[in-house]
Amino acid sequence: MPTNFDRQLRTRDNWRAKKAFDDVAEKYQLMWSQLEPWQLEEREEFTSLLDGTTVLDVGCGPGRDLKLFNSWGLNAIGIDISKRMLKLAPHGLLVKADMRSLPFADECIHGLWACQCVTHIPKSELNVVLNEFFRMLKPKGVVFISVNFGYGERYEEIGDLGVKSTRSFYTLPELKRTLQRFTIIKSEEKRWGKRHYVICFARKENVE
């Protein structure tokens, strides 16, 4: 059960993320609208693992991946905490929500796409998010997570965007440990220029 202190921290952090991403939504879209070939492959790989078409793009931002998934015939729904980001996203099913408490029924999603968003959640709350992911995924559902490589967490500038947010960094073993309720399909570190990521594809195999 979250304590009052936990709730206060979450409210502060929630407000900070909303403000930061509202402030830079247009700039973010300009900087990150193109996919590199290796990024496209990641998305194709995710799609190939799905056992159905309902996908939730968590922290969808301006909707680059939503658009792609829908163009491939999936029924992709976007959720984000930032209203301004959602305004830039393609029309469709968009929901303003915090990934720590998602307004979806149990076991209704075939695939969860979480690209560079749980990295903005304090480490102490990653489990809350992963429990939500586990709850909403259908048995055999697939989750993709990509976070920044590193250690610890800081409140600092995000990339070259000029605003600050919570940034949590993970090593590969650490990310895999947090996904222990899932079966890992594939996990790796990826370097791209000065960027260094950790990614995991995992499946909800063991239904408790």
Ligand X SMILES: C[S@@+](CC[C@H](N)C(=O)[O-])C[C@H]1O[C@@H](n2cnc3c(N)ncnc32)[C@H](O)[C@@H]1O
Binding site for ligand X (CB under 6 A): 17, 21, 32, 59-61, 64, 80-82, 85, 98-99, 115-117, 120-121
| 49 versus 85: smaller Cβ distance to ligand X | 85
Give SS3 for 78.
strand
Query: Which one-letter amino acid corresponds to residue 114?
Result: A
User: Which residue, 99 or 179, is less far from ligand X as judged by CB?
Assistant: 99
Structure tokens at 38: 């290796």
**φ, ψ of residue 46 in degrees (nearest 5):** -55, -50
Please, what is the minimum distance in Å from the beta carbon of residue 208 to ligand X? 25
Residue with Cβ nearer ligand X (30 or 207) = 30
Structure tokens at 91: 């029309």
Which tokens go with 67?
């658009």
Write down the least CB distance from residue 166 to ligand X, Å. Answer: 8
> Which is nearer to ligand X, 49 or 102 (by Cβ)?
102
d(CA 38, CA 193): 13
CB of 177 to ligand X, least distance (A): 21
What are the phi and psi torsion angles at 34 (to 5°)? -100, 145
CB of 140 to ligand X, least distance (A): 24
